[in-house]
Amino acid sequence: MNKIGVGIIGAGSIAEIGHCPSIQAIPQAELAAICDTDPEVMAKMTKKWEPKKSYSNYEDMLADKNVQVVIVGSPNRYHAQQAIDAMRAKKHVIVEKPFACTHAEAWKMVDVCKQEGVFLMAGTNQRFWEQNQIARQLIDDGFIGQPMMGRSSLHEGWSLYHEQLSFTQFRADPDEAGAGALFDLGAHRADLLMYLMGSKPKRVMGIVKRLVTPEEYTKLDDSFWILIEFENGATGCISGDRYSPAVSNISEIYGSEGTIFTGSEATNPFQSAPLAVYTDKEFRQDQLPEIVREYRYPQLFWSEDIMQPSGNVPKRWVPIYPERGWAYKSMLQHFIECIEKDVAPSLTPEASALVTDVLVGAYQSMKTNSWVDLPLKENYIVPNYNAPECK
């Protein structure tokens, strides 16, 4: 089997715990190269993961013919330019979230992707959790009718991933990160809500602030609320913060005929299952979607379903427990298979550019004190960020 060589720019914590083990677990992939400017990090990562090549300059790695896929895992400031350079070197690219830090960066990445004829995908892996994929399939099948309202939240303090797992502190550095909770957590929430709602965002309004974090720690935002109106008339909200000591990660989709709750990377007292579904539709036992039928236990009596005078099963919440899996592996597996089959990834670069516009647009709405239409009409730069110009 000819394996697809993957090179990683930025050998930090997400490469260590997400990308390298995923590459190792996929038979069609191999770790062709790792690149980082920190010699100590490179020595550690090279010893553990044994890439074919190691580089201190990403442009040298892009010249490596054995690298066919590039994962950009560097600090946010460098995502756009490194992705553009990789695509111009005819590499397929996965860009860690945030996809970009400005409207101009995001849509230039889309343009270069089209010009070079390569695949480009954001690393917003949460849509690849099995429970979220099941939720999307049930929505596509009409299980909850038309999705009309949605909410997605991720609340996770600086003291967790940022301080305990991260190799560097760039997420608190305005020049490196661009924004705080907004870019780091908001990218996941906007992408996941768009995925589950199945419509493009039409306009946004938001509040992005530093509410709790001391200024000496960072000047960046530590909380956000963003309202979204979608093109199909549906509405949604995403939220997050960087001061909660325990993680809350849940999405809710309210359809015209049912509801879906889903979570992925943490539990809480109100979330007893990674996925729970309810429908107001009438179903006979053999008409239920297979995944719902598999997990739907009787509440009172083993034969209650066949005792119904109408022949339809009683309506109730159904908790679903899919295999936990690993979303980073599922994401990379999908991308590799798309390359093998020459089929575009399910997550388009245009969708990820719109995620960038949702996040930046929320900040812009605070300046204009009004709704902001999407896609953005101007290249608004978030506060505290000195955006580089993409070449």
The CA-atom distances, in angstroms, between 84 and each of 113, 119, 142, 241, 376 are: 8, 12, 39, 30, 21
HSE toward the beta carbon, residue 28, CA cutoff 13 A: 14
- The pair of structure tokens assigned to 346 is 């399910």
Single-letter amino acid, residue 128? F
Contacts of 151 (CB under 8 A, 6+ apart): 193, 236, 237, 238, 239, 251, 252
Q: Which residue is associated with the tokens 């022949």?
A: 311
Summarize the confidence of residues 179-197 as an average pLDDT: 98
Question: What's the confidence (pLDDT) of residue 303?
Answer: 86
The string of pLDDT tens digits covering residues 19-72 is: 999 999 999 999 999 999 999 999 999 999 999 999 999 999 999 999 999 999
Residue 1 pLDDT exceeds 90: no
Question: What's the confidence (pLDDT) of residue 285?
Answer: 87
Supply the mean pLDDT for the chain: 96
The string of pLDDT tens digits covering residues 328-346 is: 999 999 999 999 999 999 9
Question: What's the confidence (pLDDT) of residue 271?
Answer: 81
Q: Which residue is associated with the tokens 């553009």?
A: 84
Lowest mean pLDDT among 148-152, 185-189, 191-195, 319-323: 319-323
Query: Could you give the 3-state DSSP secondary structure of residue 187?
Result: helix
For the chain, what percent of residues have pLDDT higher than 90?
A: 91
Residue 346's DSSP bridge partners are none
The string of pLDDT tens digits covering residues 98-153 is: 999 999 999 999 999 999 999 999 999 999 999 999 999 999 999 999 999 999 99
CB atoms within 10 A of CB 353: 26
Contacts of 286 (CB under 8 A, 6+ apart): 293
- Least Cα distance to 78 among 18, 9, 8, 17 occurs for 9
- 44 phi and psi angles, rounded to 5 deg: -65, -50
Say how many Å lie between the first and final Cα of the chain, rounded.
Answer: 37
Asked if 220 and 240 count as a contact pair (C-beta separation under 8 A), the reply is no
Summarize the confidence of residues 218-229 as an average pLDDT: 98
Q: In what order do the strands lie in the sheet with 147-155?
A: 318-320, 275-279, 258-262, 248-255, 147-155, 235-241, 223-230, 201-209, 372-373
> Whole-structure pTM over 0.85, yes or no?
yes
Asked if 317 and 278 count as a contact pair (C-beta separation under 8 A), the reply is yes
Contacts of 179 (CB under 8 A, 6+ apart): 101, 186, 208, 220, 221, 359, 363, 382, 384, 385
CB atoms within 10 A of CB 153: 19
Asked if 327 and 264 count as a contact pair (C-beta separation under 8 A), the reply is yes
Question: What's the confidence (pLDDT) of residue 306?
Answer: 84
Summarize the confidence of residues 182-187 as an average pLDDT: 98
DSSP type of residue 291: H
- The pair of structure tokens assigned to 152 is 């997605």
